[in-house]
């Protein structure tokens, strides 16, 4: 029997559209492509540890559907991130939010992420 789980997860006024966990080689980074309800590509870069001892997150738009995030991290076993979803852009009239956490894991980093859209928009 082939069944599809149809679920809807909402936190506050945001609807979850994708989430996951990755072990990433910092020198390679990671790309996440989301097709529905919006078609976007997020590129995560993890440069070497920040010498100033502070966490720094920068982002830039590479085109109308691609966002590149650079996450500079301190050498801290607890890692860093954004527990509260942050607005990262708008596509096709939908606001897109991201929450994430990055933690060192041996020679790699552990990336946990969640993408959301504002509830009440045309999110599936």
Q: What digits encode the pLDDT tens for the residues 31-72?
A: 999 887 778 899 999 886 656 667 788 899 999 889 999 988
Q: What digits encode the pLDDT tens for the residues 103-119?
A: 888 888 899 999 999 97
Contact 91, 38 (CB under 8 A): yes
d(CA 115, CA 106): 26
User: Taking the CA atoms of the chain, what radius of gyration do you get in angstroms?
Assistant: 15
Q: Greater confidence, 51 or 9? A: 9
Domain residues for the domain of 61 are: 17-118
Confidence (pLDDT) at 37:
73
Angle at 90 between CA 27 and CA 80, to 5 degrees: 40
124 within domain boundaries: no
> Percent of the chain scored above 70 by pLDDT?
85
45 within domain boundaries: yes
How many domains does the chain divide into?
Answer: 1
């Amino acid at each position: 029997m082939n069944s599809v789980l149809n679920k809807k997860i909402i936190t506050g006024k945001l609807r979850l559209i994708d989430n996951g966990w990755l072990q990433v080689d910092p020198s390679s980074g990671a790309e996440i492509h989301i097709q529905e309800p919006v078609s976007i590509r997020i590129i995560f870069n993890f440069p070497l540890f920040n010498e100033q001892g502070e966490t720094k997150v920068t982002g830039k738009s590479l085109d109308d559907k691609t966002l590149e995030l650079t996450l500079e991290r301190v050498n801290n076993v607890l890692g860093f991130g954004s527990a509260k979803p942050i607005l990262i852009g708008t596509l096709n009239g939908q606001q897109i939010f991201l929450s994430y956490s990055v933690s060192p894991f041996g020679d790699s980093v552990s990336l946990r992420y969640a993408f959301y859209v504002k509830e009440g928009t045309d999110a599936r």
